[in-house]
Structure 1
Amino acid sequence: MTIASVVLDFNHIERCKDSLYMGTPPRGIIETGLKKICQRYADKPRFVTLYDSRKRIPVYSAYTFKKTEGDRRVDYPWMYEPQLAEIDGNGNMLPFPTGYLHMKFEDSQAVLDDYSDVVLYERGHLNPDQHQSTPHDRAATYTLTNVVPQIREFNIGPWREYEERIRVRLNNFCRGVAFIVTGVTTRGNMIRRNNQDRVAIPEDLWSAYCCTDYDRNAPHDVRIRFPSHAAMAKNAKEGNSVHEMPVQELEILLKNSMDVDQNLQIFYDNCISPSPLPMYLQHTI
């Protein structure tokens, strides 16, 4: 049974906040009109997504990294989110049915037809199945609310290589839980279908991880990338190399390319230490 919930707050669904470092979502993103999705599968929350129904892509997905061998993916069915269209209220995230009628929910989210005739772009995961280990955790990533149009050469080249590099790094040197937030910037370019703007094409992809319990004896070039590090890259055919950087440097770049305020902070307290939340934030947990 696959369940996903559109919620007012990620803390409103039990254990949904476990996908977020210190149970706290990125701060400073202007959320007007955006939808918070607690992505649940087999009655268990798997990750969270901040979704833009107007652009029909996620702004970011946040998840915990699961140690994995990075083996080849299994074919899972693509799913959609009925609650974004308010079709039903039971929270079921459903596989696209055969011969389904798009009109019921295509206003609020991307559908398979949006990707079927665009040879330049592939469905690129924000929470990739290679960063998950169990079949259920992997299956839950195959919802169109977790993917964006990625240039094919970028998706199978630099970005996939980056995802693999992070998988190996966290596998080998993160001792505790690693929290990852991966998102996009947009500039107004859209995939069109039937002469209508349908799905926003990201200008950039960005990602950041936080792991406060890591191997202090790791080589220096690895140790300087803990407890947190980030990356950004152009979603393009050329000039698409992935640049790694400190999280605070990424935040500066995002302030110039996303709808955020000057208080943007991807990880609570900059992922410095698992210090207790101040009293005024206790009620949010």
Structure 2
Amino acid sequence: MAVLLVTLLISAVRGAVEMELSPECRQFLYMATPPSGLEHKSLQFICQRYNKKPRYVTLYNTVDHVPIYSAYTFKRSDGEKCVDVPWMYEPQLSTSSDTGEMQPFPRGYIHMNFEDAQAVLEDYTNAIFYERGALNPDEHQADPDDKAATYTLTNVVPLVREFSDEVWNEQEHVIRKRLNNYCRGTAHVVTGITTSGKMIRRNNINRVAVPTYIWSAYCCVDYDHNAPYDERYKFPSFAHYGLNDKENNQVLEMSIQKLEEFLKKTTFVDKNFQIFVDDCIPPSSK
């Protein structure tokens, strides 16, 4: 009983930043299980909460100040962008707080302790070659609060403008239309990055890691089996990645297994790395 009480107290204090994800946050993960084979002392789970509800899950690197991935459930939408939402931060990453929710950036001076564990708006002010690219994009959500919750810097990575505007945003449209049209049940999506040491610097200090590649995968086991073949073979799961650069940045689509093989060669995942349990092969199909 004492151990249980201590566990509950720790969970209450921890708020949105969690070493082990709570059941209400695991709803955004296929089979309630996060990607395996990603472990490092600088990585922390964030249950992204907004307006009193959990919205999605992020694995955040508190040293490089970027999300490693965000995991969310796709909501059928018309792709409309959210407007007039302030950029937010995660209070729980840096300080004890009485809220477990993301908050709008405060005006004025930000205490150094705040900047130690996450990116701040000033990090992007003079980074003229980059845009803030959301791993969970607002156009993959429908509810206004779900859309608003994507506007936190803990869900954002610096993307090269040409790649973001001309390539990656278009791929987000492609996936939205595909899942809108052919996914009948819940689609779980994980979108992440690889890094190789390139950083945005501010005041001669490394602040935010610049992704080398950005990748994404979805899992929808309940889909339209009468869909045209050129779409049907991309279910129940499919994946893609692109090089975050001005050139040679076309998006490559592939199976989950091929993406995992690629990531094992290009980032710090271990040999057991798996994005979805059993690569999104439902138990009934085995």
Any runs of at least 4 consecutive aligned residues in structure 1 with deviations exceeding 6 A, and if so which? none
2:61 paired residue number: 52
In structure 1, give the amino acid aligned to 2:103: L
Q: Is residue 84 of structure 2 the alignment partner of residue 84 of structure 1?
A: no
| Counterpart residue number, 1:7 | 18
CA separation in 1, counterparts of 2:258 and 2:40?
Answer: 22
Asked if the contact 1:4–1:41 (Cα under 8 Å) also holds between the matched residues in 2, the reply is no
Counterpart amino acid of 2:76?
Answer: K
- Equivalent position of 2:281 in the other structure: 272
Q: 1:211 aligns with which of 215, 220, 225?
A: 220
| 1:136 corresponds to 2:145 | yes
Over aligned residue pairs, what C-alpha RMSD do you find? 1.5
Match 1:258 to one of 255, 259, 267? 267
1:269 corresponds to which letter in structure 2?
Answer: D
Note the C-alpha offset of 1:89: 4.9
Counterpart pick for 2:195 among 146, 167, 186: 186
Deviations 1:5-53 (A, max 9, x none): 001112x2x4100000010000111233211000011221110000000
User: Which one of 105, 108, 115 corresponds to residue 99 of structure 1?
Assistant: 108
SS in 2 for 1:123: strand
Give the corresponding residue for 2:37.
Answer: 28
Alignment-derived partner of residue 173 in structure 1: 182
For residues 111 and 197 of structure 2, the distance between their equivalents in structure 1, rounded to whole angstroms, comes to 24
Q: Deviations over 1:63-99 (max 9, x none)?
A: 0000000123312110011111124253232100122
Q: Distance in 2 between matches of 1:118 and 1:17?
A: 34
Deviation readout 1:239-269 (Å, 9 max, x if unpaired): 1110000000000010011211111110011
Letter in 1 for 2:31: M
SS of structure 1 residue aligned to 2:273: strand
In the superposition, the TM-score normalised over structure 1's length comes to 0.92
Aligned to 1:281: none
* Aligned residues of 2:48 and 2:101 also touching (Cα < 8 A): no
Percent identity between the two aligned chains: 57
Tell me, in whole angstroms, the C-alpha distance in 2 between the residues paired with 1:180 and 1:234: 19
Contact 1:4 1:93 in 2 (8 A): no
Please state whether the residue corresponding to 1:263 is helix, strand or coil.
Answer: coil
Distance apart, 1:4 and its partner CA: 6.6
Structure-1 residue corresponding to 2:28: 19
2:11 match? none
- Counterpart CA distance in 1 for 2:180 and 2:136 is 16
Cα distance, 1:230 vs structure 2? 0.2
Asked if the contact 1:24/1:268 (under 8 Å) is kept, the reply is: yes
CA distance in 1, matches of 2:248, 2:28: 32
Aligned pair partner of 2:76 in 60, 64, 67: 67
Which amino acid is 1:64 matched to? T
Q: Distance in 2 between matches of 1:141 and 1:4?
A: 18
Aligned to 1:123: 132
5+ residue gaps in structure 2?
1-13
Asked whether the equivalents of residues 186 and 204 of structure 1 are also in contact (C-alpha less than 8 Å), the reply is yes
Asked whether the equivalents of residues 46 and 57 of structure 2 are also in contact (C-alpha less than 8 Å), the reply is: yes
What residue identity is the alignment partner of 1:189? K
- TM-fit CA distance, 1:221: 0.5
Separation in structure 2 between the aligned mates of residue 193 and residue 186 of structure 1, nearest angstrom: 18
* Structure 1 contact 191–199 (Cα < 8 Å) conserved: yes
Distance 1:83 1:77 in 2: 18
Give the partner amino acid of 2:18: V
Distance between the aligned counterparts of 2:251 and 2:219, measured in 1?
18
CA distance in 2, matches of 1:52, 1:241: 26
Q: 2-side partners of 1:63 and 1:100: how far apart?
A: 33
